[in-house]
Structure 1
Amino acid sequence: MNKTCKWAALTLALCLPFSAQAHRAWMLPSATVLSGEEPWITVDAAVSNDLFYFEHFPMRIAGVGAVDQTPAGGPPGMRPRPAAQLQIQAPDGSLLQPQNGHIGRYRSSFDLPLSQKGTYKLSIANHGLFASYKENGQQRRWMGSADALAKEIPAAAEDLQVSQTSSRMEVFVTSGKTTDTVLATTGKGLELQPVTHPNDLFAGETAEFILLLDGKPAADVAVSVIPGGNRYRDQLGEIELKSDAQGRISITWPEAGMYWLEAELESDQAQAPATRRRASYSATLEVLAP
């Protein structure tokens, strides 16, 4: 695969609904439920074909490592994509910074000290517009804000197609007893509202969540739940679900381990100048033995 194709795959994996791409973007914590005095976790972040296996690209995160921008070499007309903006919320709602960040060939990693007792949330969210068009017969792509669209896309652009896009990726980690402060949603894009606490998941038990779109229940959203380690299985082991009229989904965990949950939707309910809307949500969840 040449540099242009690799760059495009990475860019689209971070911006568009995840299951539509050959590669998945994810964060993997070393643990999600901890005890003891001021424990630490290490988080890996990558884009790969196989879940939780490092074989394609590191996820570039602002403040993690020396490079905060995806390198050039993408499709003509596509600006280098800024690094993802990571937000870390402590149990009291305050914001924290990652420690000991590093970008390697296949993964980014950072450490996080858990100095407070309770539940932390790590999230990466992107909201904006994605456009494709032709200029002088050449296919071009663009990503950015609505304000920048008119300034940066030529007035003579042909076959212009604009989509409103949003994606959110989350990880939940608890030191000691679980708390609920960081579980509050933002009311923007596709989000997961826990009914069962995301750090209270056990094999053989059923967990319930509610999917929200811009703060309202999102019905009939396709949801995929895949256990990690699919590289070493003949079967993907995917659990396919759809949210009900109230946005609820129920998942009975078949066994302990790390899981990747992904939900996505596409509709024509978009804000002008976009004519299509694409929204996705993903989370890495740890299911413990009973």
Structure 2
Amino acid sequence: MAILGGASVSAHMPYVLPTSFDVGKGDHVTVESSFAEDAFVPEVAMRDAPFHLLGPDGTRGDVGPVTYLRDLSIFEADLKRDGTYRITTGQRAGRKGMMYRDGEKWVMRGEGGGAAPAGAQSVEVQSMTLADAYVTRGQPTEAPLKPVGTALEIQPVTHPNSISAGSDASFVLLFDGKPLAGADVTLFRSAGVHDGRKVAAQTRSDGAGRFTLKPDDAGTYLVMVRHRAAAPAGAGTPWRSYTYTLAFDAA
């Protein structure tokens, strides 16, 4: 699945959605993952993703076998100990495409429909996607919230399993472990598919990479950030287009 290509494809975003974000004393959670144009409405199953979890002490663990349907991928994750788990797709490399510079912004070919303007600088780019969600058994713990330190990611300041409707939730946006300033952040509502208010909030990270979101209603939300940057040395393309999402439930 590409985050590159035609206009309909360019709007797609990855997600992971557990059946519960707070399992009480449950011993497992079932998770779906897909690419979607609307938050949590599966359209194309996520394949070739290194699905895994980070346990309450921050160590990496495996998830159960993945079942691939046409619209979504499904797997189970065992929650053997109390604490918080990060359920993640892991960093997934997607297809390659082209983008061009329009003033200060990089634009993916096809996003605005049509070819690059005459004389525009064009470069080859590969899509990179990562989607996270946090699930807690018993009392929340902090270790899985620690950033991995590579590519695009969000470090929660407010514990994701403690977010409530009508209250501010704070985060730090990072790229390769360093604060990323001036990036656009969008918050989507799952209920928006039904009432037409799909976007709950839009903001931008400050000079320290920090941003705050306030979900007005109870329900499930998806935070999405995109960032385009030069690829690491030895990569298959000179540039990469990163998309990161974080799913959470506001009580």
Q: Hey, what's the Cα distance between the residues in 2 that align with 1:240 and 1:39?
A: 36
Deviation at 1:265, TM superposition (A): 1.9
Q: Corresponding residue for 1:121?
A: 86
Matches within 5 A, 1:1-290: 11-13=1-3, 21-36=10-25, 38-54=26-42, 56-60=43-47, 83-99=48-64, 101-124=66-89, 125-126=91-92, 130=96, 161-163=123-125, 165-267=127-229, 269-271=230-232, 275-288=238-251
SS at match of 1:92: coil
Deviation at 1:275, TM superposition (A): 4.8
Q: Hey, what's the Cα distance between the residues in 1 that align with 2:94 and 2:36?
A: 24
Deviation at 1:165, TM superposition (A): 4.8
Deviation at 1:236, TM superposition (A): 2.0
Q: Greater helix share, 1 or 2?
A: 1
Q: Hey, what's the Cα distance between the residues in 2 that align with 1:23 and 1:278?
A: 13
Deviation at 1:122, TM superposition (A): 1.5
Q: Hey, what's the Cα distance between the residues in 2 that align with 1:194 and 1:231?
A: 26
Change (3 A) 1:212 1:22: closer
Deviation at 1:206, TM superposition (A): 0.5
Instruction: Write the deviation string for residues 74-123 of structure 1: whole angstroms up to 9, x where unpaired.
Output: xxxxxxxxx11112111123333323642223222112221110010112
Deviation at 1:160, TM superposition (A): 8.2
Instruction: Write the deviation string for residues 11-70 of structure 1: whole angstroms up to 9, x where unpaired.
Output: 213x79xx982322211111111212x43211111223332223x22222xxxxxxxxxx
Q: Hey, what's the Cα distance between the residues in 2 that align with 1:270 and 1:96?
A: 28
Q: Hey, what's the Cα distance between the residues in 2 that align with 1:100 and 1:127?
A: 20
Q: Hey, what's the Cα distance between the residues in 2 that align with 1:20 and 1:205?
A: 33
Change (3 A) 1:160 1:240: closer
Any conservation in 2 of the 1:90–1:182 contact (CA below 8 Å)?
yes
Q: Hey, what's the Cα distance between the residues in 1 that align with 2:60 and 2:151?
A: 21
Largest Rg, 1 or 2: 1
Any conservation in 2 of the 1:53–1:229 contact (CA below 8 Å)?
no
Q: Hey, what's the Cα distance between the residues in 1 that align with 2:66 and 2:94?
A: 27
One-letter code of the match for 2:83?
G
Any conservation in 1 of the 2:52–2:63 contact (CA below 8 Å)?
no
With structure 2 as the length reference, what TM-score do the two structures score? 0.79
Any conservation in 1 of the 2:14–2:130 contact (CA below 8 Å)?
no
SS at match of 1:99: coil
Any conservation in 1 of the 2:16–2:87 contact (CA below 8 Å)?
no
Identical aligned residues as a percent:
28
Cα RMSD of the aligned pairs, angstroms, is: 2.8
Q: Hey, what's the Cα distance between the residues in 2 that align with 1:127 and 1:173?
A: 25
Instruction: Write the deviation string for residues 175-205 of structure 1: whole angstroms up to 9, x where unpaired.
Output: 1111111111122111111111111100111
Q: Structure 2, unaligned stretches of length 5 or more?
A: 100-120
Tell me the matched-pair count. 225
Change (3 A) 1:50 1:35: same
